[in-house]
Structure formats: structure tokens, C-alpha cells
A and B are shown apart, each in its own frame.
Chain A
Amino acid sequence: MIETQNLKVYFKSRDVVVKAVDGVNIKIKEKEIVGLVGESGSGKTTLGRTILNLQRPTAGKVLWNGKDVSKLKGKEEKEFRRQNQIIFQNPYEAVDIRMKVYDIIAEGIRVHKLAKNEKEEREMVMNALREVGLTPEEEYANSLPNQLSGGQLQRVAIARALVLDPSFIVADEPVSMLDMSIRAGILDIFQKLKEEKGKSVLMITHDISTIGYIASNIYVMYQGKVIESGPTDEVLDHPLHPYTKALISAVPLPDPSGRSTLFSTEVREEVEPYNGKGCRYYPRCPFAMNVCKEKEPELTGESNDHYVACFLY
């Protein structure tokens, strides 16, 4: 349904080129939740934005039902927008805080003329609010974003996407800005979406544990590249790449802030900077070999759909 082909997104700021996404191939099928895991700055958001044609790729393309999304025009582009939605990392930034919750959610309905009249529009908005657990919905509809908590606002953002009845949703770390206690509630919404409505979701996260429950496939990104991918159970039970292993072994650690202790066990101190040609992980890899410094490993199939980019295999 959605797939990327050798997608590259480079950002140039003065002399420095940041390769946010560097040759990524991923595929999301219908009614499937796909996990995208990686540490901060690995290019997850950029990939998600590029898939939704919110960012022009430097090279490669994104195919939606076989069509290049950057070449869509008119009606088709509109339909693409309606069917593919995104939920942003920071709910506070993702909504126009001048607008009432009702108008925020109704915006999409109006743009796509989904409601025949005001009554129908109202019904759709209220349904969407109920669906994401914002009840009493009348009360929420009339509030302003700065009267809501982060979790509530994220639900509003989800409702805004859901009201269009999309078939594919990019969920960009929808819980990372939220308190631990309310994360489960938000994730439940996605679980239900898949089970009851059969939507596809690209679930972006830096916390590999959350993805285990809901994703059927998983991609692990490191510095703009996918370094391991496969069915979730397979990858979680038999991680191959040293980076994936580090991610998984970090999971049981109870520190809620996550990132700082992510690589506590199997990572060595970064002793030398990346030289620009070898494996991107070798400065931190405990298994680094000479060959790792010289060239980059390709993503190769190991066993039934399990791919890894590492010279150990």
C-alpha cells in the first residue's frame, strides 16, 4: 500500500549535510501496524514526513498504491491527503492554539467536504471525540487547546486524523511527550484502530518495548539507515544487529526517561568519530572488526524476512 524506494532526505545547513534519511526501503501493507524504532535524531520523523509528502525527498520515491506521491495532483492529491494522516510528536505544536477543539477537528471535514450539513459535521466531530475517549464530548469541543493536558490534546490530534477515516496513519512517537501514566491509554487507541477498523499504522518510537505488543513488523533505524528489519516476534526474540541488541537489553531498565540509559549494557564508549565510509555503528559497536571501518554493510536477508546490515552475519 505504501512503500519507499531507496528514499534519501538530506538537509543542507551551510556546509554541513545531514543525511536524515539515507536510502531507506520500507513497506506497509494494508491492515498492518509497522514499528519504526531508533534513537533520537535517527531520522524517524523525517521519514514519516517524507512518506506523507510533507517533505521533498532528495532521491528515491514514495509509492502509494504504486503511484509516486510527490507527483499527485488535484483530486488524487486530495484523496491521498484524506487517506493518509499523521499524528505529530508534540501535540502542543501540532494544533493552532487559537482554534477551539471543535474547529480543529472539523477542519479536515470542511476541507474534504465530508459533511453534507452542519448537523452532520457536528455529529462527526462528536463521534471522533468519543472515539478517542474525550467525554463529555460537548465540553471538550468547546475548550481551547491551552485548557487541555498534553494527553487530552494528543487525543484531539488523533481525533482530527480519525475523523477523515484514513486508511493509513503515521503515528510519530504519539506518547513520547506524555506522562508514563497516560501512555497506555493512547496506545490502546491505536490497538483498537487496527483490530476494529483495520487501519495501517506506521508507529514511530524510540521505545522498542511498546512496539512489541502492537506491531507486526519492525524496522530499526540508525542514523538515517535501516539496520535491521523483520517480523516483530522474530526481531525481538532473536535480535541480530548489535544496535538492536543494545536497544532490547535496555528495555527492562525501569528508568522512565529511557534514552539516557538506553545503551547501558552492550555499548562501548565512543572512542573515535565516524570516518564517513565504514559501518555507522562501529564507533559504538563492541564487536567492531577491521572490515567495519572500511565499508558499509548492506541490508541482507538472514532468514524468513529477517534482514540485517552487519558484517557479523
Chain B
Amino acid sequence: MNKVIKDLLSRKSFIFSIIIIGFFSILAVAAPALTTYSNPYLPSQQYVAAPYAVPSWATIFPQYKELPPDVSFTFTKYVSSDSSYVTAVNASYIKVVVPPGQTVNVSFPFKWNWSHPYDVVVSFKLLTPSTTSFVVNLYFNGLYAMELCPVPFPVEPAVSISPGKVNSVVFDSKYISPANSPFASELPLSEQPLAAYEFPSYALPKPGTYNVTVSFENTGSSKEVFVMSLPSYSSLGYVYGKLGTDDNGASVFAEFVYGARFDLYLSLLASALIIGIGLFIGLLAGYVGGFTDLSLNALTDFFLLIPGLPLLVVLISIFDVTGTIVNVNKPILILLIISLLSWPGTAKIIRGQTLSLKGRTFVEAAKALGEGNLRILFRHILPNLMGILFAQLAYDVPGVILAESGLDFLGLGITGFPTWGNMLGFATYNVSFINGFAWWWVLPPGIGIVLLSTAFYFFGSAMLDVLSPYKLRGE
């Protein structure tokens, strides 16, 4: 055994394959620990950053240098027009007293170091007076972002706020429209539909110091008292994580890792199934020979002649259209179909090897010693097939990954959770001249498929060489 391992370790290609396979296996196994997003295709796990956010490390390139990351913080500093009216209640609340007919502004300054973000969200709690004679406005520097009125049906673009209660005020630039934001309604008509998209670039166009200002206006004849929490700010950036985001702002790293997990899992399972069927048929045909061999060979040839991928496409489509797929788990269906279409090659190779082993003198010697067929099979034929089996297992893995990825790429396979195939598919489908080539989205699954396939191929070849004593002797 030691010799086998030594032999293996002396091969560069084997070391390479072990490193690659090991790397992806660790990714696959550790996936839940590596990312909190177990299925980034679920809407609830999307928009962790702006769509098409680039990986964090990509900011070393000049064209991505200015892009903001996800930012979120709670303001701690405030400035007011007249400090006698504004006092701190505690660390996170302030009290604002507004004399009749006057307006008090409270500004929250902050430093912004990047170009504009994807969105802007400002939220705070506000305890309002129990009258209706006040208006609260929210400004972003000079931009009139929000108007809050205590009347039940305020005139648009004002939004209503309950008097005498704690209100949760949220300004989210993603949802602004001429109906809820003066900023939007003041835009020229043609630009109004794009208000949500344009607000961040108006509000935070470039690095600098900005202010969020809450303005309290007392229209009544007695003083009013407001209590508000220090607001929180958050915005999604155009830079995210290890591998950026896809078109839905979902983590590409999470997709990649879970894709690796599924691809490895499926391909190993399918390969095991393929080897199982191939070994059974090949061994039977090769060892028993005669009519058994003839009929099994015919069966193998039949399956071999079926054009694999096209049939796969047709079968999946049929199952899909007829709704059979609703009752069956789709990954399992794909696993079964791929396995059923892929075993013939393996069966043929095993048959050939069995045939050649069967004709060897040492098998005849075993027979001469009085060994029965089963003993010969399990003690002499099967152990000598080990190399081939490992090699086949390793050669089948890339085949399965490619077939499955092909299906997913075409949108016929799995779409509900990430696989390398559907990552590539979605990435290709969403290529447009706006986002250009989302390399951080396309390359990882592409490189993953190529690397893993190559690694498995090398792994198989090394195993074949080392575990097949009769091949090594060049007979």
C-alpha cells in the first residue's frame, strides 16, 4: 500500500489533481460555514449588494476604485439651526422643541468616500405631537426627499404620519415615485420614472461630506415637542464580497460554493451509479462470455448509439411538459437519466479488461487450483480491475458535470438553486452592453468546471497507472 501511495505522490499530475479536487471538496463540505446564503436564488437572499457588484478585491483596478461597498451606520453627531431647541434625551434619542410658527432643522453630517451607491435608505423613529399642525421634511443636502404630514390624506407627494404616536419613518430611494417624494415629483416628467434609479447619484454624487437634514415645521399657535431616534443610514454598494453579485444582487461566492457542492455531489453519485451498472454488465459479459456476452454487448451498443445530450434534452423536456417532473425530484431525475445514458462506455471498457484478464495464465492457474468462478472473480479479476474502476470513476465525473451543466445552461435542468451550469446560463443570458461582461460571475463556474474536469481526468489516469499491475508491464 505504501508503495502505491509513494508511486502516486511521485506524479505531478496526481498532486495537481489532489490539490484541485481537495480544494473544491473543502469548498463543498464547508459551504454552510463559508456563506450564510444557502440558496441565493431565493428572493429573500438577493440584494445583498447592488446587482453586478464587483468583488471587493477588484477595487485595486482603477476602473473599480471609486465604487462604494455596502455601507450602514447609525448617526451619532447632529447639528441644529438653534441648539437651545434640540437636546439629547439619552445616547440615541433627541428631543426637538419647536416654537409656534417656526421651523427647526436638525442636520446629521456624514463623510462619503466613494462614487454614488445603488440605493439610499435612512430610517428613524419619531414621536410626534398629538396635534395636526406640523410638517416634518427630510432633505438630503439640498434634495427634498420626503414630506411627512399628520393629516390622513395628505396632498401628494406628502405621506401621512400619525400624530401623538411613535412612527417608524423609512426613506428608501428604491421605492420613491412622484407619489411619495417631492424629489421625484419635481423632476421633469420624462425623468420621473427613473427617480428611484437617479436619486443616489443626485444625493451622493462623489466623495465628500453630506448632510441628512430633518426639518420640523410648526404651523400651529403653541409649541410642539418631537422626540426622534438618531437615524440609521444604509446603502447597497457596487462592491461586494469575494466574488461580487449577479443580476439580482445575490452573492456569486455563495452561488459558486453551493454550485460546487451540488455538482460534486451529483457527479460522484452519478459516476458511482455508472460504474455500478457498467461493472455489473461488463463483468458479466466479459467473464461469462458466449450468448450472455452477445446479448449484453448488443444492449450496450444500443445505449451507446443513442445520442446522449440531445436525448437528455428531449427526455427532460418531455418530463417537464407532461408535468411528470412535478412528482419527481428534478435532480434525481437528471441523475438517473444521465447515469442510464452513460454506462455503456464503462461497461465496454470493463468487459474488454475482464476478457483480457480472464485469458491470462494466472486465472487459468487459479482454475487449476480448484477455485470456483465466484472466487476467481472476486479474488483475481475484480482486484485487478481496481485501477480501471478508479479511472472510470474519475473519467465519468467530468462527463457528468459537463452533461448536467449543459442541461442547466440551456435552462432545462435545475433552475431553483445554484449549479455551475445554471450560473453560466444566467450569466450568459444577462449579458448586455450595460453590464458588459460580468467576469466575476462567468469565470468562477467556467474555471471551476474546467479545473475540476481536468483534475479528475489526471486523478483517474494516475490511479489507472498505479493500480493496474498488468498494464504497467506493458503487456
Q: Which residues of A contact B (CB under 8 A)?
A: 49, 52, 54, 77-78, 81-82, 85-86, 88, 90, 93-98, 107-108, 111-112, 157, 160, 164
Q: Complex: how many Å from CA A8 to CA B143?
A: 108
Q: Complex: how many Å from CA A164 to CA B365?
A: 13
Contact B364 A54 (CB under 8 A): yes
Chain B residues whose C-beta falls within 8 Å of the C-beta of A93 in the assembled complex = 360-362
B370: contacting residue among A88, A90, A112, CB under 8 A: A112
Interface status of B12 (Cβ within 8 A of chain A): no
Contact A111 B375 (CB under 8 A): yes
Chain B residues whose C-beta falls within 8 Å of the C-beta of A90 in the assembled complex = 361
Q: Which residue of A lies closest to B467 (CB)?
A: A98
Chain B residues whose C-beta falls within 8 Å of the C-beta of A88 in the assembled complex = 361, 364-365
Contact (A160, B369) CB under 8 Å given A93-B361, A111-B375: yes
A-B interface, 4 closest residue pairs, ranked by CB to CB distance from nearest: A81-B370, A93-B361, A108-B369, A96-B362
Chain A residues whose C-beta falls within 8 Å of the C-beta of B152 in the assembled complex = none
Contact B369 A111 (CB under 8 A): yes
Q: Which residue of B lies closest to A97 (CB)?
A: B469
Given A98-B469, A108-B370: 5 more A-B contacts, CB < 8 Å: A52-B368, A93-B362, A96-B383, A107-B366, A157-B365
Q: Complex: how many Å from CA A49 to CA B380?
A: 20
Contact A98 B384 (CB under 8 A): yes
| Residue among B362, B379, B384, B469 with most chain A CB within 10 A | B362
Chain B residues whose C-beta falls within 8 Å of the C-beta of A160 in the assembled complex = 365, 369
Chain A residues whose C-beta falls within 8 Å of the C-beta of B370 in the assembled complex = 77-78, 81-82, 108, 111-112
Interface status of B367 (Cβ within 8 A of chain A): yes
Q: Which residue of A lies closest to B380 (CB)?
A: A96
Q: Complex: how many Å from CA A34 to CA B365?
A: 22
Chain A residues whose C-beta falls within 8 Å of the C-beta of B470 in the assembled complex = 97
22 A–B contact pairs at CB < 8 A? A49-B364, A52-B368, A54-B367, A54-B368, A77-B370, A78-B370, A81-B369, A81-B370, A85-B368, A85-B369, A88-B361, A90-B361, A95-B362, A96-B362, A107-B369, A107-B371, A107-B379, A108-B369, A108-B370, A111-B369, A111-B370, A160-B365
Distance of B375 from chain A, by nearest CB (Å): 7
Distance of B379 from chain A, by nearest CB (Å): 8
Distance of B393 from chain A, by nearest CB (Å): 19
Q: Complex: how many Å from CA A87 to CA B39?
A: 65
Contact A95 B368 (CB under 8 A): no
Instruction: Count A-B pairs with CB separation below 8 Å.
Output: 55
Distance of B114 from chain A, by nearest CB (Å): 65
Chain B residues whose C-beta falls within 8 Å of the C-beta of A107 in the assembled complex = 366, 369, 371, 379
Q: Which residue of A lies closest to B386 (CB)?
A: A98
Contact A96 B384 (CB under 8 A): yes
Q: Complex: how many Å from CA A112 to CA B375?
A: 12
Distance of B148 from chain A, by nearest CB (Å): 84
Contact B384 A111 (CB under 8 A): no
Q: Complex: how many Å from CA A90 to CA B365?
A: 11
Chain A residues whose C-beta falls within 8 Å of the C-beta of B367 in the assembled complex = 54
Q: Complex: how many Å from CA A86 to CA B372?
A: 17
Distance of A137 from chain B, by nearest CB (Å): 20
Distance of A281 from chain B, by nearest CB (Å): 30
Q: Which residue of B lies closest to A160 (CB)?
A: B369
Q: Which residue of B lies closest to A82 (CB)?
A: B370
Chain B residues whose C-beta falls within 8 Å of the C-beta of A164 in the assembled complex = 369
| Residue among A49, A81, A90 with most chain B CB within 10 A | A81
Chain B residues whose C-beta falls within 8 Å of the C-beta of A94 in the assembled complex = 361-362, 365
Chain B residues whose C-beta falls within 8 Å of the C-beta of A85 in the assembled complex = 368-369
Contact B365 A95 (CB under 8 A): yes
Q: Which residue of A lies closest to B363 (CB)?
A: A96
Q: Complex: how many Å from CA A146 to CA B370?
A: 25
Q: Which residue of A lies closest to B370 (CB)?
A: A81
Q: Which residue of B lies closest to A95 (CB)?
A: B362
Distance of A206 from chain B, by nearest CB (Å): 18
Q: Chain B, 371-395, contact with A by CB distance < 8 Å: what is the 0/1 string?
A: 1100100011001100000000000
Q: Which residue of A lies closest to B383 (CB)?
A: A98
Q: Complex: how many Å from CA A6 to CA B469?
A: 41
Chain A residues whose C-beta falls within 8 Å of the C-beta of B366 in the assembled complex = 96, 107
Q: Complex: how many Å from CA A54 to CA B371?
A: 12
Distance of B384 from chain A, by nearest CB (Å): 7
Chain A residues whose C-beta falls within 8 Å of the C-beta of B384 in the assembled complex = 96, 98
| Residue among B370, B379, B380 with most chain A CB within 10 A | B370
Q: Which residue of A lies closest to B369 (CB)?
A: A108
Contact B368 A86 (CB under 8 A): yes
